[in-house]
Amino acid sequence: MGVEIQPVDVDIYATRQVSQCSWANLNDVLDSGYNMEDYFECDAEWEDEEVEDGGWKIEVNGVVTQDFHAKRMNELRSRVENLEKKIVEMMKKDGEEE
């Protein structure tokens, strides 16, 4: 007996990394009294228009039916068996050619 899955049962999480540019001269950093990291956290101006995409990472959490899982596992097993057979055939051919 299968379980019907609704789209609301599947959660998608996305994490995006972005890069922004800022700059300062040494005198500004020294006058601020901060170290460089604190200066860029507190006093620096960031160029929001210049955000560069650093890539995406997407994860999906949800429910998969047992039938779907079993079908997929059988497909993968069959694929592995076929590849193993091809490897054996290729090795036999290589042995005959020598």
Residue pair 22/44 in contact by the 8 Å Cβ criterion? yes
Partners of 58 in the β-ladder: 14
23 pLDDT more than 90: no
Average pLDDT over residues 18-44: 85
H runs (alpha helix) in the chain: 26-32, 36-42, 66-97
Q: Is the CA virtual torsion 21, 24, 29, 32 positive or negative?
A: negative
Q: How confident is the model at residue 28 (pLDDT cuts 50, 70, 90)?
A: confident
